[in-house]
Structure 1
Amino acid sequence: MVREVLTVSERAPWWRAPAAVTAGALPCLAFPAPALWWFAYVALVPWILLLRSAPRGRRAALEGWLGGAGFVFAVHHWLLPSLHVFLFAVAALVGLLWIPWALLVRELLGGTPGPGRAAAALVLVPAGWLLSELARSWQGLGGPWGLLGASQWQVAPALRLASVGGVWLVGLLVVAVNCALVLLITAPAARSAALAGVTGCAVLTGAVWLWAPRPEPVGSLRVALVQPGLVPDSPDSPERRFDLGERLTGTLAGQRPDLVVWGESSVGADLAARPDLTRRLAELSARVGAPLLVNVDARGADRPGIRKSAVLVGPGGPTGERYDKMRLVPFGEYVPARALLGWATSVGKAAEENRVPGSAPVLMDLPGRPGVRLGPLVCFESAFPDMSRHLARGGAALLVDQSATSTFQDSWAPAQHASLSALRAAETGRPVVHATLTGISEVRGPSGGRIGPALSTAASTARVYEVPLARGTTLYVRFGDWPAGAALAALAVYCAAAGARAVRLRRPGPEPSAPPARTVRGSAGRRAR
């Protein structure tokens, strides 16, 4: 088998391998910071054209792997200063998930597909892409960062689609358009099917825009975001950050906020072990006239290990409402299989000690606003659609994500992270507050649109936002990840049909029956009579 793979590789032109890596990396331009959202609808075309022309399935698998690795590396390239060479290993590992999609592309789009195969491709090629996204969305493989549908975070019709089927439905639509463009370019006999596919995508988007239920306004909430800005690393950085957050929060006195939100790791010591910090926060809450949602990143005085916890503090101190971050960042907050991969700490900035994850989501009652419940998330968790959906189903009126991306301050990471709040708001029909230590902080309304100006990475300030609340339930909250289920079902039917066809072709036919014997009478026989 190895000899056969090498032979195929030797026959392929040398440029195909680097072309696969480059083609796989192209979609990263659709995400922030470039944010060329329209590019997502053509970004896969070069990669698909390359895969459909692969001489054999093994070559398509190789180029699917290389392209997947290129995509993962490009979308996460800002991790390079932290992970160093380990990022290449991660990209190579996760890139394997695109091999099934590459084989589907070659099978369904290779050669000159007719209308039937083209119609199947318009369904199954997007489904295959979604399969790779679902697999890599597992936290152990890095989580759902850089989902293709998330590139449409600023497109109102796409956000409406997200309210129906989440980011998964948006991703299916984007891949289907790319697939249709390839058919228009390469398959004259299938152009009618390709045009029908593009038209179908447009009709679906229009129907959703007109028909899908919209969030119903029901009052508002005055929420203050406190962004202290970059504090140089030093032994006293947590104390300096706390002091700056305290000073900025004090400027909110008289502005009548209902809630003040600090970013991730805004408190660097356990409040049970530091009564002085608890007292300062309580006095600050009384002065401003609103509870503070802070984030404690510290070893617990009464609990083992280091946790990141959202803690609500009122004039009387902590209210008892506390949420411990459940989904930790691989390598940043824990090292998977540390006994095997612990060497990552020697080549990058991987966590020296695993943090302790929380066990369950928490809904917090907002003091002074009966019936208003907060759904806290911490940083990386805003990338997971299921977490915000669970909080919305439980009755959250406001989703709050406390984040910190100061390690990647001058990269694409802050803008990429902030953009996720638009998807989570649209999916749930609930406003989302994205509060960070160093930017980008922003607020999204129940439909995903931005409320007020964002706080850039250069800002050090506190700002009050009038956040509209909404009631009602989106179809995504009600029915969940149904596009993923539909895609998997379509792939299962295709695989079953392909398997049955292969069995029929391999099954031996009936043995041909021997021709009936004929009696041949020669001249001697005739003479004998």
Structure 2
Amino acid sequence: MSLFLPDRTTLISLVSGLLLALCWPRVDATHLCWIALVPLLLVMENRPFRSGFAAGVGFFSLLLYWLNIVMTTFGKLPAPLSLVVYLLLVAYLSLYIAAATWASSRVREKLGLPYAATLPIFWVACEFLRSFVFTGFPWGSLGYALVESSTLLQAADLFGVYGLSALIVFVNAVLAAFIVAGRRHSSWPWRLAATAVLLLALTVGYGRWRLAELPDESERQLAVGLIQGNIEQGQKWNPDLQQRIVTTYADLSLRAAKMGAKLLIWPESATPVFFQDGGPLAEQVSAIPERSGGSSLLFGSPAYTWVNRERRFLNSAYLLDGEGVLMGRSDKIHLVPFGEYVPMARFLPFVHKLVEGIGDFSPGTVSPLPLNQSLFGVLVCYEAIFPEIARDYVNSGSDLLVNITNDAWYGRSSAPFQHLAIARMRAVENRVWLARAANTGISAIIAPSGEVIASTLLFTPDVLNAQVGLGSAPTLYKSFGDTPAILSLLLGLFWLIRTRQHYSAN
């Protein structure tokens, strides 16, 4: 029982987690990321697992508070049950930070390596594991804290978000090492300090060079219009409001076309019907390209396919050319657990409230949509938080990334701002433009530098017109992906095996 009882060490570690959460929108206290882990590093030596777990609880409980809004407002879960599910998720995610601090301390103790060497490796390894274990949930990777630092952000095209995470943890560990040296009156860790200064200088220098080297305009450009219908979640599937919803999107689309948009982009599940079934509303959608004077239309719509006489649902994006001819369909690849399907559904019947009336969805494959000798890679909803999906689309020839999403679930919380921040990283990693159409906002145009060129407000019907470049520049990340994170995982495992051998030898 004493394992998780709060004491001074636990409370200090909790503060570290809270400081990390403040680096995220909407607080955006980015500079805190360089010192947030210092309290944890100063106290975790004797109780590394508990310290890491407490830091994780502080971080994820504050970062993901909005999950309660989703579960109670839209999942219709009773508040007490919602709180239990929320706390269980926070506890699960906190285990990854606890594992990183425990493993780091063990290697430090057995092999004599400093935290500045061990913690960045294990932190990245655990963040990487969190991105795919149990389907993955990489929301909250530490590197996203640098999204608002335009110069440092540019290094993401080298090693991705995990590389930035490693840099942040390393700097924190060096600062903590100086404090410890001062307390113990031991020699100052000047070599570590010099390494930290060198890494920061190289990162800043690279970022400035990259920003200066990026072209102001691409040779190939496309005028896009993002359509933000602002349809309330409770209205989206009301049969009495279907015509009004389609009319809203049609009117906004014609307005965007008059402003010069050649590609109109609607959000995720914008159509309140199955477009593939046809009918009057589907015909109205198909007529929009011709009514707009020849603008193409990319829109989200639920779809389905038949597998062994069983209807399986899909979360899809359709592309119509300027004459209303269907050019292709792209289906969501990474489904939301407990949102679009229920893992172990027979053992968790209460969770069906979160997907009531929708049923289990099936995943798609990487399928860029073709139009006028260009390809568009469509990231549906929270697929934007998975670096490998965006990279796969760009490496498959996509000239533009399009993120269609419905963030109405999150209400007026910080989640839409967090979601946008994560999407910005995908543009930098792949040096490609990203157009983001969100039902209730935030819709945005993101440059290959990660800069938000233009954006909308939350919960307002709006149109966002802009010129985007087509094509992507070569990057180290596109070539090697998350290989550094995989190497961190392998190195961490090697170290842990060495500690076992060291223990046996003694």
TM-score between the two structures when normalised by the length of structure 1: 0.84
Note the alpha carbon deviations across 1:417-447, whole angstroms, 9 max, x for none.
1112210000001101111010011011122
Deviation at 1:35, TM superposition (A): 1.4
| Alignment partner, residue 344 of structure 1 | 351
Structure 2 residue aligned with 1:92: 91
Counterpart among 167, 171, 176 of residue 165 in structure 2: 171
The alignment status of 1:187 with 2:181, answered yes or no, reads: yes
Unaligned 5+ residue runs, structure 1? 1-5, 506-529
Query: Residues 315 and 220 (structure 1 numbering): CA distance in 2 closer, same or farther, change over 3 Å?
Result: closer
Give yes or no for the alignment of 1:27 onto 2:20: yes
**Structure 2: 5+ residue stretches without partners:** 72-81
Contact 1:222 1:258 in 2 (8 A): yes
Aligned counterparts of 1:15 and 1:487: Cα–Cα separation in 2:
31
Q: State the alpha-carbon separation in 1 of the partners of residues 475 and 150 from structure 2.
A: 15
* Letter in structure 2 aligned against 1:269: V
Q: Which amino acid aligns with 1:290?
A: S
Cross-structure match for 1:41:
34
Given that 1:109 and 1:183 are in contact with CA atoms closer than 8 Å, whether structure 2 keeps it comes out as no
Judge conservation of contact 2:108–2:115 (CA < 8 Å) in 1: yes
2:16–2:37 contact (8 Å) kept in structure 1? yes
Matches within 5 A, 1:79-478: 79-83=67-71, 84=82, 85-107=84-106, 117=112, 120-138=114-132, 140=134, 142-188=136-182, 189-209=187-207, 217-231=218-232, 233-234=234-235, 235=238, 236-288=240-292, 289-297=294-302, 304-345=311-352, 349=354, 353-366=358-371, 369-370=372-373, 372-451=374-453, 453-478=454-479
Matched to 1:328, the amino acid is L
CA spacing shift, 1:468–1:333, aligned 2, 3 Å? same
Per the alignment, in what secondary structure is the counterpart of residue 450 of structure 2?
Answer: coil
Which deviates further from its counterpart, 83-92 or 387-396? 83-92
Change (3 A) 1:341 1:73: farther
Backbone CA RMSD of aligned residues: 2.7
Aligned to 2:62: 74
Structure 1: distance between partners of 2:479 and 2:359? 35
Deviations 1:245-279 (A, max 9, x none): 11111212333322110001101211232332232
Give the number of aligned pairs: 482
Aligned to 2:7, the other structure's residue is in SS state: coil
Provide closer, same or farther for how the CA distance between residues 105 and 293 of structure 1 changes in structure 2, counting only shifts above 3 A.
same
Could you tell me whether the CA contact under 8 Å between 1:379 and 1:401 is conserved in 2? yes
Cα pair 1:286 1:314 within 8 Å, conserved: no
Residues 109/240 of structure 1: CA separation in 2 closer, same or farther (3 Å cut):
farther
1:472 match: secondary structure = coil
Query: Retained in 2: the 8 A contact 1:69–1:96?
Result: no
Rg: which structure is higher? 1
By how many angstroms is 1:79 displaced?
Answer: 0.4
Structure 1 CA distance for aligned equivalents of residues 490 and 210 of structure 2: 24
- Answer yes or no: is the 8 Å Cα contact 2:246–2:285 preserved in 1: no
* TM-score, structure 2 as length reference: 0.88
SS of residue matched to 2:22: helix
**Structure 1 Cα separation of the partners of residues 260 and 427 of structure 2:** 25
Separation in 2, partners of 1:345, 1:471:
41
Query: Are the counterparts in 1 of residues 57 and 90 from structure 2 also a CA contact under 8 Å?
Result: yes
Change (3 A) 1:104 1:19: same
2:75 alignment partner in structure 1? none
